[in-house]
Structures are given as C-alpha cells and as structure tokens.
Amino acid sequence: MSDDDDILLDVAHLKVYFRLPRKNIFAKASRVHAVDDVSFQIKRGTTLGIVGESGSGKTTTAMAVMRLTPITSGAMRLGDTDLAALEGEDLRHARTRMQIIFQDPYSSLNPRVRAGAIVREPMDLMNIGDPADREGRVADLFRKVGLRPEQQALFPHQFSGGQRQRIGVARALATQPELVVCDEPVSALDVAIQAQILNLLRSLQDEFGLTYLFISHDLGVVQYMCDEIAVMYLGQIVEYADRISLFTEPLHPYTWALLSAVPSADPATRARADRIRLQGDPPSPIDLPPGCRFSSRCPFAEARCVQETPPLRSIRPGHAVACHLVSDDGVPPQRRS
C-alpha cells in the first residue's frame, strides 16, 4: 500500500473465537472461528467493503473493530491509537472517533426516547461541544440527513424505516467521528428507499471526509459504495482488491461463484456461459478442518486444497487472493482449460 500516513484503520491478524457450551462435561469445548486471522487497512476518506454470506464473519469483524465484541487476539490501530489495547475510560473516549450504523432501523433506536434526544445523547455522554450549542447541532444534523428539525419531538415508531435509518446516521455523526462502520445499512430497507440512504452516505462522506468500513452481502451495493473490497468466507479474507479489479478480474473461485450467483436484470450477463453454480450451503464455522475452507464447495478443489491452508498472497499491487490454484501471474482456475 502507498503512503502510510493516510491509513486511518489498520487491522492486523484479528481473531475472534467464540467458545460454545460443552455438550457434556467430558466433551471437548467447541470453538467458533468467527474471524480467523483477518488483516486490512483503510485509507482516510475511502470506503472498504467487506462482503460475504452468512457465517462469513463480516459482521463480527465490524463489531470487533467497534470493540463491541471481545477480541481473541490481533492488533487494531485507529490513527495513532492502539484500539485493541484500550480498556475502560480510555476506550470510552476513543469511541468518539468511531461510530456505527446498524442494519435494522427498528431495533437500533430506543423506542422510549425521542428522535432529538437520540441524536443529542452521544454529545452529552462524550461531552462534545458547548452544551448550549448542542440543540443547534442536533437541528443541523437533522437537516444534514434529510429530516426536518421539527421532527425531533417524535418517537422512533412514528417514522418510516428509511427515516429511522436517517436518525441512525445522524446519531453516528453526532460525535464527529473519523471512522463510520456501516453494518448492512440498507438491507432491511425497501428497494426504493435503499438508494436514498446510499446516496446520503456518499454525500456525507464527501462533505465530512468520512472513512467507511462497509459491511454488506449485496454485491451491487458494495460495487456502488466501496473503493476497496475484501471478500470473506468462513472467517477469512479470500480475496482483497480495489473495486475495478475485483469485479473485472475476480481471481478466487468463490468470488467468481458469488458474482455469477447474483441475479441480473441484464440479459447479456445472464447469458454468460462462464457462470458457475455452487452446491450446498456454506458449512458451519465450528471446529474447522485444516486446508482451504472453501474446498468443500469449490468445483476446482485438488488434494492440496484439503491439506494446506492457502495464504493470502499478492498477485498484483492492490490485488491479493488466498487460493492455491491461482497462478502467480494471476490466472484463476476458472479461466484455465
């Protein structure tokens, strides 16, 4: 990666394991490898997308970055601050610099608090700005996210889903954060409303120079929102590339399968002969065997895929893949034969 100075978030070898309750006292305790050795960096003012299916660990990664879930090991630096090492009051203060927008606009707002108070609360808790100015700032935030300041007195249930998500965005911006984690911010919204929120997030990014960690399962949304993209499968990054290379030259067979699985309104895309269909569902991330985690569903898998875990290696500047079968000059298995 280029200039180190403009890296805002640097995550290295992040691991989040969950222990499952033992079936009986003699059984071995099972562990869910929710996030297993994940590293990425986000440049200031850009958007990194993490895309994957259920169980890929994308949301757990987001929660770990927000320090909302305990991390097993790894390093996370936000600017000059070592996020992974912070505890107690220090962590509380660091939280002003990173905020999160949740997936479900119905459960992410406290139903007993008025909209204005929801947006004001972070400023009161973090002691941001002069208390006398906060009222004006709340009104300002309401306008910025496309709500009317008069609507502050309403309770969350009096808003539609899209408007509730706007309140969530306003709350996230209240502390003037540098990093905003967007955890599937539009997947619970109606299709016609999604565009409103996506456009809003992009214009806010331009206006405030925000850095986004954008979690989504929707490749179309990721393609529209993100500058760099990490594809996750069962807790690991299998491919990591900038937006243009990932979609024009996907290397990992899983990325390839993912792209061909997306239903397309474009007849030309649908007619492509090189679409591949995966069999079965992603396996559960409990007590995983060695080897490539995708090998059980991979149409190209060979003996060594089951034995050795492929490392994430760089094929070109800005394009890395974790697959034994991608040749060093960047020819993926689906392109051969």
Partner 1 sequence: MTDSDNTQSRQIDEMPETPVEHPFRQFVTMYMRNYAAVAGLLVFVVIVAAALLAPVILNVDPFEMVDVPLLPPGESGHLFGTDNLGRDMLVSIIYGARVTMAVGGAAAAITLIIGLSIGAMAGYYRGWVDEVLMRITEFFQVLPPLLLAMVLVALFSPTLETVAIAIGVVSWTGVARLARAEFMRLRELDFVKAARSIGGRDRRIIWLVILPNALPPLIVNAALTVGIAILFEAALSFLGLSDPNVMSWGKLIGDNRDYLLDAPWTVTIPGVAIFLTVLAMSLIGDGLNDAFNPKLRER
Partner 2 sequence: MAERLLSVEGLRVEFKTRDGIAKVIDNLSISLDTGETLGIVGESGCGKSMTALSIMGLVPIPPGRIAGGRILLDGEDLLQANEQRMREVRGNEISMIFQEPMTSLNPVYSIGNQIAETARLHEGLSRADAMARALEMLQAVGIPAAEKRIHEYPHQMSGGMRQRVMIAMALACKPRVLIADEPTTALDVTVQAQIFDLLNDLKEKTGTAIIMITHDMGAIAEMAQRVVVMYAGRIIEQAGVTQILTDPRHPYTQGLIRCVPHLTRNPTVERPPLLEIPGVVPALSQLGSGCAFAPRCPYADAKCRAEMPPSRAVDSGHDVACWLTEREAAA
Q: Which residues bind partner 1 (CB under 8 A)?
A: 63, 66, 68, 92-93, 95-96, 98-100, 102-104, 107-112, 121-122, 125-126, 148, 150-151, 153-155, 157-161, 163, 168, 171, 174-175
Nearest distance in Å: CB 242, partner 1: 29
Nearest distance in Å: CB 149, partner 1: 10
Question: Rounded CA gap, 157 and 164, in Å?
Answer: 8
CB atoms under 10 Å from CB of 1, counted, come to: 11
Per partner kind, with CB cut-offs from 5 to 8 A, the member of partner 1, partner 2, none near residue 296 is none
Nearest distance in Å: CB 127, partner 1: 9
Per partner kind, with CB cut-offs from 5 to 8 A, the member of partner 2, partner 1, none near residue 154 is partner 1
Side chain identity, residue 121: E
Nearest distance in Å: CB 6, partner 1: 25
Tokens of 49: 């997308």
Nearest distance in Å: CB 188, partner 1: 11
Q: 21 vs 263, which CB is nearer to partner 2?
A: 263
Q: 147 vs 257, which CB is nearer to partner 1?
A: 147
Per partner kind, with CB cut-offs from 5 to 8 A, the member of partner 2, partner 1, none near residue 243 is partner 2
Nearest distance in Å: CB 191, partner 2: 5
Alpha helices, DSSP H, located in 177-324: 191-208, 219-225, 243-248, 253-261, 267-271, 303-307
Tokens of 162: 């899209």
The DSSP annotation for 241-255 comes to: EEHHHHHHS--SHHH
Q: 118 vs 325, which CB is nearer to partner 1?
A: 118
Four-point Cα dihedral 77, 78, 81, 83, nearest 10? -60
Nearest of 127, 94, 90, 93 to residue 9 by alpha carbon: 94
Per partner kind, with CB cut-offs from 5 to 8 A, the member of partner 2, partner 1, none near residue 157 is partner 1
Phi and psi (nearest 5°) for 290? -70, 175
Q: 152 vs 255, which CB is nearer to partner 1?
A: 152
Question: Rounded CA gap, 273 and 239, in Å?
Answer: 23
Q: If 0-12 CB within 10 Å is exposed, 13-18 middle and 19+ buried, where does residue 170 land?
A: buried
Nearest distance in Å: CB 87, partner 1: 13
Per partner kind, with CB cut-offs from 5 to 8 A, the member of partner 1, partner 2, none near residue 174 is partner 1
Is the Cβ–Cβ distance between 242 and 318 less than 8 Å?
Answer: yes
Per partner kind, with CB cut-offs from 5 to 8 A, the member of partner 2, partner 1, none near residue 61 is none
Q: 33 vs 95, which CB is nearer to partner 1?
A: 95
Per partner kind, with CB cut-offs from 5 to 8 A, the member of partner 1, partner 2, none near residue 99 is partner 1
Alpha helices, DSSP H, located in 77-128: 88-94, 115-126
